[in-house]
Structure formats: C-alpha cells, structure tokens
Structure 1
C-alpha cells in the first residue's frame, strides 16, 4: 500500500521513514502539516527534536513491528 494511503493511521505511532536520497530516519509520527510530515526523533540523553520532511522527499513510511516474545527478556 502506498505510504500516502496509510499515513493517517500511523499518526502517534513509531515509524521508520525511507527517504528518496537513500537515507532514513525513525521516530514517532506526530502529524501532517501541509505537504510535510512531522516526526519527533531522539537526539541524545533526554533530548528530542521535531523534524519536518516534505512529501517529495519520502519514499516510504512503515510502522515498527511489535515484539513477539513469549516471555520478556531481562539482562
């Protein structure tokens, strides 16, 4: 399914974003503003940044898969 059709269902969820230039990013999809998506990304320590990506930059957007563990793993 093209990312344009699934984007509204992904708002508020962790996503991976593939960009047309071969790079990618991940974070929480916060919303859509005009023809841009808004993604909050982790920087370091306790710092996060809200970044914008234009629709023309995006190749695909996918929701993170769930963890399928029968029991939690602790280290």
Structure 2
C-alpha cells in the first residue's frame, strides 16, 4: 500500500467526520502527539510518534510488540 500524505490523512478524517482527538483516543494515544505528527512538529523516528505515523500510513515501518508478563510468574509455575 503506498504511503499517504498528511493532507490525505486529514481529508480522510474529515470525510469520516472524525476528529484527531477521536482517532487518538480510539488508538490509545494522546491527542497532542497525533497533532504533533500531523503538523510535522515530530520527527517520528521512535516511540509513540513513530507508532502513530506507521498506523496512519504516513511512514514505512513496523511497531514492535513487547511481551509483557507478570513478575514472578515463572516462580509460581515450576
């Protein structure tokens, strides 16, 4: 799938009747971070801004999923 421009993303939000804040909340991000990505105030090279840019398909890349386990889980299960 070809990358989208920021203008295309904003247009799609408008067509869907969705605000940036709504998208951010639905995807678990702070609205100000999404706004920074869409206004090019963030380099989107790592962290949450990178994730946002990849999800919006304005940047190539992938999102690393971490394997979170409860501490001590191995100790309880021999």
Could you say whether these structures have the same fold, taking a TM-score greater than 0.5 normalized by the shorter chain as the test? no
Higher relative contact order (CA 8 A, sep 6+): 1
More strand per residue: 1
Task: Say which one has the larger Rg.
Answer: 2
The TM-score, its normalising length taken from structure 1, stands at 0.25
Bigger fraction of residues in helix: 2
With structure 2 as the length reference, what TM-score do the two structures score?
Answer: 0.25
